[in-house]
Amino acid sequence: MRSLTYYYSGSNYNPEQMELIKDLCRQKGLLFVDQNIDGDPLLEQRFGAKNPVVLVGPYRISPPFTLTEVEVAVNAALERNDREPGIPGRHDRFRMTRSEKFAFWFSKSYVWVISTILFLFLAFSFLPPILMKAGNTNLASGFYGFYRLLCHQLFYRSFFIGGEQIIYPRELAHLQGHLTYEQVVGKQAEDLLFARNFQGNEKLGYKVALCQRDVAIYFALGLSGVFFEITRRRAKPFPWYVWIIFAVIPIGIDGFSQLPGLSQSWPLWLPARESTPFLRIITGMLFGFITGWYVFPLMEESMKEVRFQLGRKKQISLRAESKR
């Protein structure tokens, strides 16, 4: 790209130096772009400690530097540019493509995009029981079928809408004050196919298309994105061992310890156990929130580079258009 970008802050503004570099660009046929970094968090983070900074091609020149050093870098960049395919000097070489515009937008908005998708995905899982109550069973069954690809949908581990209770736990969970799955259905919990496919009825209500733990996970994942955005993406990722200890291990213990209670084929010395909605929500929230706080900062490191490179090209494109 036949251009030179000059980054500076108000406190280090050097108009004489800028004019000399601008004259050099005119002599070499380069598009000169000057950009004040004040007020731009990304540019302040990159160049705030030491500026002005010159970027030309792949070369970065940091202060203190002389005009001769800038000219050497310009000549090297032009030599590299001449070896690339294309017609030097054409304005359309500065234009951002549609894919680049989308990538630039996504790099700035990805947290909200991902969080919105998570919240919508969660919200739509509450739609099937509402549709069942409204008599639209075909559409509800389609939603149940889609979410079944991602969740076990076991009756006694799901929330319910429009019935006597919002949960119907197994007898093995020992929850007082609730009708149990065995009492209302008359089936044993080990019949997993029935527990998965039975959606409910008018008396019991209809189950949400995601299980209790998945509801908590997706909600907490979306919530972590909101909090990450509120902190202006300055949060650092949790260390991997924190994620393992506080996110993976609790949900793993609570989930896998239920397996012996689902089949009589397990060794007798393994105790049969059923978790409670409270534990599923707590472990799901921990897993979702800590996973989000672990992943979003890592994504941000990559997105910063995308924003910088495409933001630079956008400024060059705008400057090139203004000179046409």
The burial class, CB within 10 Å (0-12 / 13-18 / 19+), for 212 is: buried
| Inter-helix orientation angle 67-82/15-28, to 10° | 30
Mean pLDDT of 194-218: 97
List pLDDT tens digits, range 142-168: 999 999 999 999 999 999 999 999 999
More confident residue, 11 or 320: 11
List pLDDT tens digits, range 73-85: 999 989 887 766 5
Instruction: Give the Cα separation of 107 and 26 in Å (integer).
Output: 33
More confident residue, 236 or 207: 207
Question: In this structure, what token pair is assigned to residue 74?
Answer: 């310009």
What is the distance between the terminal CA atoms of the chain, rounded to a whole angstrom? 17
Mean pLDDT of 57-66: 92
At residue 107, the pLDDT reads 94
At residue 173, the pLDDT reads 94
More confident residue, 117 or 29: 117
H helix runs in the chain, sequence order:
15-28, 41-47, 67-82, 98-124, 127-133, 137-148, 181-185, 192-197, 212-230, 240-243, 249-256, 277-322
At residue 83, the pLDDT reads 67
Give the CA-trace dihedral at 109, 110, 113, 117, to 10 degrees: -170
The burial class, CB within 10 Å (0-12 / 13-18 / 19+), for 235 is: middle
Task: For each of the domains in the chain, give its residue range(s) and CATH number, in order of start.
Answer: 3-89 (3.40.30.10), 103-324 (no CATH)
At residue 91, the pLDDT reads 42
List pLDDT tens digits, range 27-57: 998 999 999 999 888 899 889 888 999 999 8
At residue 85, the pLDDT reads 53
Q: Which secondary structure element, helix H or strand E, spans residue 54, and what is its range? A: strand 53-56
At residue 88, the pLDDT reads 44
Strand order of the β-sheet with 200-201 is: 158-161, 205-211, 200-201
In the predicted structure, residue 86 carries a pLDDT above the cut 80: no
Contact 243, 293 (CB under 8 A): no
Contact 206, 163 (CB under 8 A): yes
Phi/psi at 212 (5° precision): -60, -45
Contact 274, 170 (CB under 8 A): yes
At residue 270, the pLDDT reads 84
In the predicted structure, residue 1 carries a pLDDT above the cut 60: no
Mean pLDDT of 307-313: 88
List pLDDT tens digits, range 232-279: 787 888 899 999 999 999 999 999 999 998 887 778 778 899 999 999
